[in-house]
Amino acid sequence: MTIAQNLEAVREQVAVLAPGRQVAIVAVSKGQSAERMREAWQAGQVLFGESYVQEAMAKQEALRDLPLEWHFIGPLQSNKTTLVALNFHWVHGVDRIKTAERLSSARRGAGREPLNVCLQVNLSGESSKSGVLPEDVALLARQVVHLPGLCLRGLMTLPELTTDLEQQKFRFRALRQLLEALNRQGLALDTLSMGMSGDFPSAVAEGSTIVRIGTAIFGERHRKS
Ligand SMILES: *Cc1c(COP(=O)(O)O)cnc(C)c1O
Protein backbone atom coordinates (compact mmCIF):
# COMPACT_ATOMS: atom_id res chain seq x y z
CA MET A 1 0.00 0.00 0.00
CA THR A 2 1.25 3.51 -0.77
CA ILE A 3 1.03 6.44 1.62
CA ALA A 4 -1.73 7.91 -0.55
CA GLN A 5 -3.73 4.67 -0.34
CA ASN A 6 -3.25 4.44 3.42
CA LEU A 7 -4.36 8.02 3.86
CA GLU A 8 -7.43 7.41 1.76
CA ALA A 9 -8.32 4.34 3.84
CA VAL A 10 -7.96 6.25 7.12
CA ARG A 11 -10.01 9.18 5.81
CA GLU A 12 -12.75 6.82 4.70
CA GLN A 13 -12.90 5.04 8.05
CA VAL A 14 -13.08 8.34 9.90
CA ALA A 15 -15.80 9.66 7.59
CA VAL A 16 -17.91 6.54 8.09
CA LEU A 17 -17.61 6.73 11.87
CA ALA A 18 -18.25 10.46 12.10
CA PRO A 19 -20.80 11.33 9.43
CA GLY A 20 -21.25 15.08 9.20
CA ARG A 21 -18.60 15.76 11.84
CA GLN A 22 -15.20 17.34 11.32
CA VAL A 23 -12.38 15.11 12.54
CA ALA A 24 -8.90 16.36 11.76
CA ILE A 25 -6.22 13.81 10.93
CA VAL A 26 -2.71 14.60 12.14
CA ALA A 27 -0.20 12.43 10.28
CA VAL A 28 2.36 11.42 12.90
CA SER A 29 5.65 11.58 11.03
CA LYS A 30 8.20 10.93 13.80
CA GLY A 31 10.72 8.43 12.49
CA GLN A 32 9.69 9.13 8.90
CA SER A 33 11.75 10.99 6.32
CA ALA A 34 10.94 14.39 4.85
CA GLU A 35 10.52 12.64 1.48
CA ARG A 36 7.75 10.43 2.84
CA MET A 37 6.08 13.46 4.38
CA ARG A 38 6.22 15.22 1.04
CA GLU A 39 4.51 12.19 -0.47
CA ALA A 40 1.73 12.55 2.12
CA TRP A 41 1.42 16.25 1.30
CA GLN A 42 1.00 15.37 -2.36
CA ALA A 43 -1.88 13.13 -1.29
CA GLY A 44 -3.51 16.12 0.41
CA GLN A 45 -2.17 15.86 3.96
CA VAL A 46 -1.48 19.21 5.67
CA LEU A 47 -1.32 18.42 9.42
CA PHE A 48 1.78 16.65 10.72
CA GLY A 49 2.70 15.52 14.22
CA GLU A 50 6.22 15.26 15.61
CA SER A 51 7.53 14.08 18.99
CA TYR A 52 11.19 15.04 18.91
CA VAL A 53 12.21 18.67 18.52
CA GLN A 54 15.57 18.19 16.79
CA GLU A 55 14.14 15.76 14.27
CA ALA A 56 11.20 18.06 13.60
CA MET A 57 13.41 21.10 13.06
CA ALA A 58 15.42 19.29 10.38
CA LYS A 59 12.27 18.25 8.54
CA GLN A 60 10.68 21.69 8.84
CA GLU A 61 13.77 23.04 7.11
CA ALA A 62 13.56 20.43 4.36
CA LEU A 63 9.84 21.09 3.82
CA ARG A 64 9.93 24.86 4.12
CA ASP A 65 8.36 25.28 0.70
CA LEU A 66 5.12 23.63 1.90
CA PRO A 67 2.45 25.39 4.03
CA LEU A 68 2.21 22.58 6.57
CA GLU A 69 0.61 22.75 10.01
CA TRP A 70 2.91 21.35 12.71
CA HIS A 71 1.66 19.64 15.85
CA PHE A 72 4.05 18.87 18.70
CA ILE A 73 2.86 15.67 20.39
CA GLY A 74 5.93 14.58 22.35
CA PRO A 75 7.05 15.12 25.93
CA LEU A 76 8.18 18.70 26.47
CA GLN A 77 11.61 19.28 27.96
CA SER A 78 11.98 22.67 29.58
CA ASN A 79 15.07 23.59 27.54
CA LYS A 80 13.06 23.06 24.32
CA THR A 81 9.94 25.06 25.11
CA THR A 82 11.03 28.15 23.18
CA LEU A 83 11.83 26.15 20.02
CA VAL A 84 8.48 24.41 20.30
CA ALA A 85 6.56 27.62 21.01
CA LEU A 86 8.00 29.32 17.93
CA ASN A 87 7.96 26.46 15.43
CA PHE A 88 4.68 24.65 15.97
CA HIS A 89 1.02 25.58 15.54
CA TRP A 90 -0.22 23.20 18.21
CA VAL A 91 1.15 21.53 21.33
CA HIS A 92 -0.84 18.52 22.51
CA GLY A 93 0.99 17.40 25.64
CA VAL A 94 0.89 20.24 28.16
CA ASP A 95 0.57 18.79 31.65
CA ARG A 96 1.99 21.37 34.06
CA ILE A 97 1.64 25.08 34.59
CA LYS A 98 5.40 25.76 34.40
CA THR A 99 5.58 24.41 30.86
CA ALA A 100 2.48 26.34 29.86
CA GLU A 101 3.92 29.57 31.24
CA ARG A 102 7.18 29.06 29.37
CA LEU A 103 5.38 28.36 26.10
CA SER A 104 3.16 31.37 26.60
CA SER A 105 5.92 33.85 27.30
CA ALA A 106 8.08 32.60 24.42
CA ARG A 107 5.18 32.92 22.04
CA ARG A 108 4.21 36.35 23.27
CA GLY A 109 7.78 37.54 23.37
CA ALA A 110 7.95 36.87 19.64
CA GLY A 111 4.74 38.82 19.03
CA ARG A 112 2.98 35.80 17.58
CA GLU A 113 -0.69 34.84 17.73
CA PRO A 114 -1.52 32.48 20.62
CA LEU A 115 -0.32 28.89 20.38
CA ASN A 116 -3.04 26.21 20.37
CA VAL A 117 -2.62 23.80 23.26
CA CYS A 118 -4.28 20.73 24.69
CA LEU A 119 -3.82 19.46 28.22
CA GLN A 120 -2.65 15.86 28.38
CA VAL A 121 -4.68 13.74 30.78
CA ASN A 122 -3.40 10.56 32.40
CA LEU A 123 -6.59 8.53 32.59
CA SER A 124 -5.17 5.34 34.05
CA GLY A 125 -3.45 7.09 36.94
CA GLU A 126 -0.10 5.33 36.48
CA SER A 127 2.58 7.51 38.02
CA SER A 128 5.03 6.50 35.28
CA LYS A 129 2.91 8.17 32.61
CA SER A 130 2.89 11.82 31.76
CA GLY A 131 -0.30 13.79 31.90
CA VAL A 132 -2.30 15.53 34.57
CA LEU A 133 -4.63 13.38 36.67
CA PRO A 134 -8.36 13.78 35.93
CA GLU A 135 -9.03 15.33 39.32
CA ASP A 136 -6.39 18.00 38.68
CA VAL A 137 -7.44 18.98 35.14
CA ALA A 138 -9.91 21.68 36.10
CA LEU A 139 -7.37 23.58 38.18
CA LEU A 140 -4.72 23.42 35.45
CA ALA A 141 -7.25 24.47 32.80
CA ARG A 142 -8.32 27.48 34.84
CA GLN A 143 -4.68 28.59 35.07
CA VAL A 144 -3.75 27.92 31.44
CA VAL A 145 -6.79 29.66 30.02
CA HIS A 146 -5.49 32.99 31.34
CA LEU A 147 -2.06 32.77 29.71
CA PRO A 148 -1.99 35.37 26.94
CA GLY A 149 0.36 33.46 24.64
CA LEU A 150 -1.76 30.32 24.60
CA CYS A 151 -5.17 29.37 23.28
CA LEU A 152 -6.46 26.46 25.35
CA ARG A 153 -8.32 24.23 22.89
CA GLY A 154 -9.03 21.03 24.78
CA LEU A 155 -7.76 17.72 26.10
CA MET A 156 -5.47 15.01 24.81
CA THR A 157 -4.84 11.48 26.02
CA LEU A 158 -2.50 8.63 25.23
CA PRO A 159 -4.12 5.60 26.86
CA GLU A 160 -2.41 2.28 27.39
CA LEU A 161 -2.56 0.14 24.26
CA THR A 162 -5.23 -2.51 24.33
CA THR A 163 -7.11 -4.42 21.67
CA ASP A 164 -10.17 -4.57 23.93
CA LEU A 165 -12.62 -2.25 22.18
CA GLU A 166 -14.76 -1.71 25.26
CA GLN A 167 -11.71 -0.72 27.27
CA GLN A 168 -10.64 1.69 24.50
CA LYS A 169 -14.06 3.32 24.42
CA PHE A 170 -14.22 3.51 28.21
CA ARG A 171 -11.06 5.65 28.27
CA PHE A 172 -12.08 7.90 25.39
CA ARG A 173 -15.54 8.40 26.85
CA ALA A 174 -13.90 9.47 30.13
CA LEU A 175 -11.89 12.13 28.30
CA ARG A 176 -15.01 13.42 26.53
CA GLN A 177 -16.88 13.62 29.83
CA LEU A 178 -14.00 15.56 31.37
CA LEU A 179 -14.15 18.06 28.52
CA GLU A 180 -17.92 18.38 28.87
CA ALA A 181 -17.55 19.00 32.60
CA LEU A 182 -14.98 21.76 31.97
CA ASN A 183 -17.30 23.40 29.46
CA ARG A 184 -20.16 23.29 31.96
CA GLN A 185 -17.84 25.15 34.33
CA GLY A 186 -17.56 27.97 31.83
CA LEU A 187 -14.69 27.04 29.53
CA ALA A 188 -15.25 26.83 25.78
CA LEU A 189 -13.07 23.93 24.68
CA ASP A 190 -13.61 22.41 21.25
CA THR A 191 -10.89 19.79 20.93
CA LEU A 192 -10.54 16.15 21.92
CA SER A 193 -7.17 14.90 20.67
CA MET A 194 -7.54 11.15 20.98
CA GLY A 195 -7.01 8.08 18.83
CA MET A 196 -3.92 6.55 17.19
CA SER A 197 -3.44 3.81 14.58
CA GLY A 198 -4.49 1.03 16.94
CA ASP A 199 -7.56 2.65 18.47
CA PHE A 200 -8.79 5.56 16.38
CA PRO A 201 -12.13 3.97 15.39
CA SER A 202 -13.09 3.79 19.08
CA ALA A 203 -11.87 7.34 19.67
CA VAL A 204 -13.83 8.75 16.74
CA ALA A 205 -16.94 6.87 17.89
CA GLU A 206 -16.55 8.56 21.29
CA GLY A 207 -16.26 12.07 19.90
CA SER A 208 -12.63 12.63 18.95
CA THR A 209 -12.03 15.84 16.97
CA ILE A 210 -8.34 15.18 16.22
CA VAL A 211 -6.80 11.76 15.64
CA ARG A 212 -3.00 11.34 15.62
CA ILE A 213 -2.08 8.58 13.22
CA GLY A 214 1.40 7.33 12.33
CA THR A 215 1.88 3.72 11.32
CA ALA A 216 -1.51 3.32 9.63
CA ILE A 217 -0.44 6.07 7.22
CA PHE A 218 3.32 5.63 6.86
CA GLY A 219 3.85 2.01 7.86
CA GLU A 220 6.45 1.05 10.43
CA ARG A 221 8.75 3.81 11.64
CA HIS A 222 12.27 3.60 10.23
CA ARG A 223 14.23 5.61 12.72
CA LYS A 224 14.41 5.06 16.42
CA SER A 225 11.43 6.77 17.99
C1 LIG B 1 3.67 8.02 18.05
C2 LIG B 1 2.45 8.71 18.55
C3 LIG B 1 1.23 8.60 17.84
C4 LIG B 1 1.03 7.74 16.61
O5 LIG B 1 1.17 6.40 16.90
P6 LIG B 1 0.78 5.28 15.81
O7 LIG B 1 0.51 4.09 16.62
O8 LIG B 1 1.96 5.13 14.92
O9 LIG B 1 -0.40 5.77 15.07
C10 LIG B 1 0.16 9.34 18.34
N11 LIG B 1 0.25 10.10 19.43
C12 LIG B 1 1.40 10.22 20.11
C13 LIG B 1 1.44 11.10 21.32
C14 LIG B 1 2.54 9.52 19.70
O15 LIG B 1 3.67 9.63 20.41
The pLDDT profile of the chain, 225 residues, written as one tens digit per residue, is: 999 999 999 999 999 999 999 999 999 999 999 999 999 999 999 999 999 999 999 999 999 999 999 999 999 988 999 999 999 999 999 999 999 999 999 999 999 999 999 999 999 877 777 899 999 999 999 999 999 999 999 999 999 889 999 999 999 999 999 999 999 999 999 999 999 999 999 999 999 999 999 999 999 987 554
62 Cα: distance to centroid of ligand 1 (angstroms): 22
Cα atoms in the 13 Å half-sphere on the side-chain side of 111: 0
DSSP class of residue 132? Answer: B
Q: What does the pLDDT read at residue 225?
A: 44
111 Cα: distance to centroid of ligand 1 (angstroms): 31
The model's pTM is 0.96
Task: List, in order, residues 6 or more apart from 33 with CB less than 8 Å away.
Answer: 59, 222
- Integer distance in angstroms from the first to the last C-alpha of the chain? 22
Residues with CB under 6 A from ligand 1: 28, 30, 51, 73, 158, 196-198, 212-216
Q: Which domains does the chain possess?
A: 3-14+22-218 (3.20.20.10)
Residue nearest to atom 7 of ligand 1 (CA): 197
